[in-house]
Structure 1
Amino acid sequence: MKSFKFLAMSAMIGSALMLGACGSDSANESAENNNGGNAEEAAQLEGDVKIDGSSTVAPIAEAINEEYAATQRDVQVSIGVSGSGGGFEKFIAGETDLSNASRPIKEEEITALEDADIDFTEFEVAKDGLSIVVNKENDWAEDMTVEDLKKLWVENGSVKKWSDINPEWPEEEVKFYSPGTDSGTYDYFNEVILEEADIVKENITMSEDDNVLVQGVTGDKNAIGFFGYAYYLANKDELKVVKIGGVEPTNETIESGEYTPLSRPLYVYAKNSALKEDEAVYDYMKFTLENAGEMAEAVGYVSLPEEKYEEQMKTLEELK
């Protein structure tokens, strides 16, 4: 199984080759490309940028940071992965500058930020298709409906079996692998599939680390799990993705919205005061918007239309 650090670094190599700007002067040329002038003329910054939040957004953030480090070696960027909810907790506490999220901010979180006198701006960086996956040896669950998923995942006081969905399926207990409750992926699944009902209590493993979920599903023939599209792509040789209503998650079906209701936007929330007062934070956010589309595609997500990034760049510039 590939780790995302390896995947991100591999993507950087491929990206650099496609750009055709590699070689012994790649760091200087990267600085020129991203700062609009010669490397010698580019403003070299110092500082710290603190980020936490969604594990789904993390691969994009890590890929962006690999590129950014070549242009601003003295800016130290830390990327934590405590889930969207955990990231917002740190954001509200004033511990981070940017908060990655795989779901929109909640009303209670907005209220908490207001109480803490923290103004923020929401930036959308990519699109994801929450992927339902089963073990490679599972030769029965090819296609499921939203109602099938509800029957499986909503707690009803009984141990769930595959035959509960289809009598022709095995009378074997289903083993569930879900993101933890601090995860934006869990929140999204809870909203569109569980509809706020309790998730199953038997035979379930929950983790904020999507790699734990991947390992669980690959190790059990009767397992089912869900996580971001990029984690499926990184492990597609070891997993089988389930169609939902006859539609498989792909770049095309996610971008078009055909893969419904599991297509969703991915976000970075930025603290306005940090953008205005800390040149390193502003520069990093600017670099993120300039490169999010390419990096999202490199690690397995779907980029936004270029106009969307341009609109958000104007928003960022107005904040400055």
Structure 2
Amino acid sequence: MRLTTSLFAAVAAATLSGALALRPHPAAAQATIAIDGSSTVFPITEAVAEEFQRTNRNVRVTVGISGTGGGFKKFCRGETQIQDASRPILQAEMEECRRAGIRYVELPIAFDAVTVVVSPRNRFVECLTVAELRRIWEPAAQGRITNWNQVRPGFPDARLSLYGAGADSGTFDYFTEAVVGRAKASRGDYTASEDDNVLVQGVARDPNALGYIPFAYVAAHARDLKTVAIDGGRGCVQPSAETVLNGTYAPLSRPLFLYVNLQALERPEVRRFVEFYLSPAGRDLIREVRYVPLPEQAYEIGLRRVRERIAGTGYGGRAEVAMPIAEVLQHEPRE
């Protein structure tokens, strides 16, 4: 009896020991970095996250698409550690973060060209002036500018179908500021979405459609879309890495940003992810998804902000339009 009891105790102890050995050590538990925001920045962040996780298997990076405005709501509630943004943080968002005690590091990461697109079956639109875009998209156009021949004499008498960014999108804020002259000032009778893939599909299947989307989505669907050159006063210019860098694709070139929760930077995995994003490998991924990397100096500035925990924004809560790359580098953050 005593032997049986001793044997049972030994087996139980061995079983318990085995179970403890199989249980993951707390230090090996998977950490999560939550990112949300701009659908424009999403392709870059998704590519960086996938590559980062190859060598950081104990880190899970989730990347959502709520639009820049929707993402800032989550970021300023402390629900995410990193915010993708296709425009600088606005005054109302700064106040929201301040009330919640959320401080952040602002990092310019790339340049984009907001691109006006039509279906490849459209044979008559090659170039539009900014004035013509304003005529199409301004609030007064709602229910009034509904045919192509109202945009320009000589265009066909065909119904104009419009596709564009939703109200929570930074692309919406930027496009309306650049084209109409006031952020969020837009007609409302168009198909709107924060998901740029929805806009791609809508324009691609409608020969009379016109829309605006980030350049990377155009590059990924080159067979399905036709880009429209833009005349900002100096002749018709197509969007490209070259025209973005030399400033001739105006006023629809814009910087893209990451905002990083300052407190979250104390977590080693968050710091490693951000440093990887700003590294030469991150720049390669920016090119791979068809955006325009900033000069090397910009990433050195970004790394200094991360390492020295320099919080705030360099834009004072205002939307900025037609900002050349050199000017982006001069915006020092302030709280």
Residues 17-53 of structure 1, C-alpha deviations (whole Å, 9 max, x = no match): xxxxxxxxxxxxxxxxxxxxxxxxxxx9951111000
Whether 1:60 aligns to 2:49 is: no
* Match of residue 268 from structure 1: 258
Q: How does 1:1-320 map to 2 (within 5 A)?
A: 46-156=30-140, 157-196=143-182, 198-202=185-189, 204-245=190-231, 246-276=236-266, 278-290=267-279, 291-319=281-309
Distance 1:200 1:319 in 2: 41
| SS in structure 2 at match of 1:130 | strand
CA pair 170-93 structure 1, distance change in 2 beyond 3 A: same
Structure 2 unaligned residues grouped into runs of 5+: 1-27, 311-335
RMSD: 1.6
User: How many residues get paired?
Assistant: 276
CA distance in 1, matches of 2:222, 2:135: 25
Letter in 1 for 2:198: V
State whether residues 105 and 309 of structure 2, in contact with CA within 8 Å, keep that contact through their aligned partners in structure 1: no
Q: Distance between the aligned counterparts of 1:159 and 1:312, measured in 2?
A: 44
**TM-score (normalizing by structure 2):** 0.80
Q: Aligned equivalents of 2:31 and 2:139: distance in 1?
A: 48
Corresponding residue SS for 2:33: strand
Give the counterpart letter for 1:98 in structure 2. I
Cα distance in 2 for partners of 1:116, 1:201 equals 32
Partner amino acid for 1:72? Answer: N
- How far the C-alpha of 1:155 sits from its partner, in A, is 2.9
- Aligned residues of 1:159 and 1:173 also touching (Cα < 8 A): no
Q: Distance in 1 between matches of 2:30 and 2:284?
A: 26
In 2, Cα distance between the equivalents of 1:167 and 1:319? 56
Q: Following the alignment from structure 2 to structure 1, what is the Cα–Cα distance between the partners of residues 309 and 87? A: 23
The percentage of aligned residue pairs carrying the same residue is: 41
CA shift, 1:173, in A, is 1.5
Q: Is the 8 A contact 2:110 2:292 kept in 1?
A: yes
Shift in Å, 1:107 = 0.8
The aligned amino acid for 2:109 is V
In the alignment, the residues of structure 2 paired with residue 294 and residue 209 of structure 1 have an alpha-carbon distance, to the nearest angstrom, of 24
**Are 2:145 and 2:151, in contact at CA under 8 Å, matched by a contact in 1?**
no
Q: Which amino acid aligns with 1:199?
A: S
Q: Secondary structure at the match of 1:254?
A: helix
AA at the equivalent of 1:269: Y
For 1:163-221, what per-residue CA distance to the aligned partner results, in whole angstroms no more than 9, with x for missing partners? 1121100111210001111011011011111223742233x111111111000001111
Q: Secondary structure at the match of 1:140?
A: coil
| One-letter amino acid matched to 2:271 | Y
Runs of 4+ with >4 A deviation? none
Given that residues 83 and 184 in structure 1 are in contact (C-alpha distance below 8 angstroms), is that contact kept between their aligned partners in structure 2?
A: yes
Q: Compared with structure 1, are the counterparts of its residues 244 and 159 closer, same or farther at alpha carbon in structure 2 (3 Å cutoff)?
A: closer
List runs of 5+ in structure 1 lacking aligned partners.
1-43
- The SS at the match of 1:138 is coil
Which residue in 2 is equivalent to 1:19?
Answer: none
Q: Distance in 2 between matches of 1:154 and 1:136?
A: 25
Which whole-Å deviations, capped at 9, do the CAs of 1:28-79 have from their partners, x for residues lacking one? xxxxxxxxxxxxxxxx995111100000100000111111011100101110
The answer to whether the 8 Å contact 2:86/2:171 transfers is yes
